Chains A and B, each alone.
Chain A
């Protein structure tokens, strides 16, 4: 069997597949690749089925292989064969935050609750890869590699679409419009849990405590400091901060890929 060998763990590196939706009632978020469209593209390039697990990293990840293997990375999105001894650098594409490595056959670590994704808050799922670890490559999918290049997911969208959220009425009149009209900046607190945005604080009109309620990927929560947090794949399944708005699902990967310090603007849908 051929392995991927991690020689440098990089930053915030985890294994991710399509996630494990459906366990929210016992406190387990879906997890899965933050840039799910990109994970799909890279898997397609190496001939994998869509559920194959990949490596996700902020950068600095280096791997080798114990036998020839076909890979595609976000910085070099084309299938290529890696020879034994060759070092593959994995990091984000220019201007993006999260990078990926897909390998033909997928990473065949043991699934937990039906998924090979690691949930970073609780550690549920495969262990976080450290230097020296061997990750087994799954069986060859026996499908032809049909594409040399794939269209990259469209990241040019300037505006992130948002829908009205369940607790919009807990905010001062015009707060949704303020969310859409303000220039937000991605904060430096990067995680798989959420994207925190700096900008003019959003103000609540209802000050009473909100009993914990269900949270979804894309929820725009507003903590007491008024700086919105957009929940990502490893979000807590319940929360006590009011949800002002909900990011349109196709825009989630666009938002997750915004680097700290870059601007974000929202557009109210409907």
Chain B
């Protein structure tokens, strides 16, 4: 689904990523690589597969968009304990498959504890914010005077109600007049329900589709 924002347009993907065609850039927030590994290191037996599965989904988004660049909006790695060989091997293999794609990480709160991804992965790491008109890339969803903010951190989800006392909670893209928050990309992540106000725009990830959610209903 294409939406107009800050004078340009973004394509929202059900893979939980946003594509900026004008600069051939894919935005992804909160991958939390190695979260399951961090649990295992604490002797909590979480099975393998979450990181592999997430990387496959990221590859699918790259395949769909043919992007030349990926901007990770923070929390790439979950924790220092999650810096497992096996996790990095999986990320390295994924990186090798898309060697021609530039990857930039705008550091988030988890990255500060967990440290940057190993250099050989070829991920350029910078502190937030990163300016690229009309946008500001950062991790915490705060407004900026320099441009429209693209952020992550909160793992937004939207709670819906419908006739027949239906309820549903879905991960979503959340656009306020000054900040866009992307859904958490990592599948081993919880989420937090947002309270949109008039003027905000919300797009829910409903399985393999993006559905626009009216914010006043």
Q: Tell me whether A and B are bound partners.
A: no
A residues touching B (Cβ–Cβ < 8 Å)?
none
B residues touching A (Cβ–Cβ < 8 Å)?
none
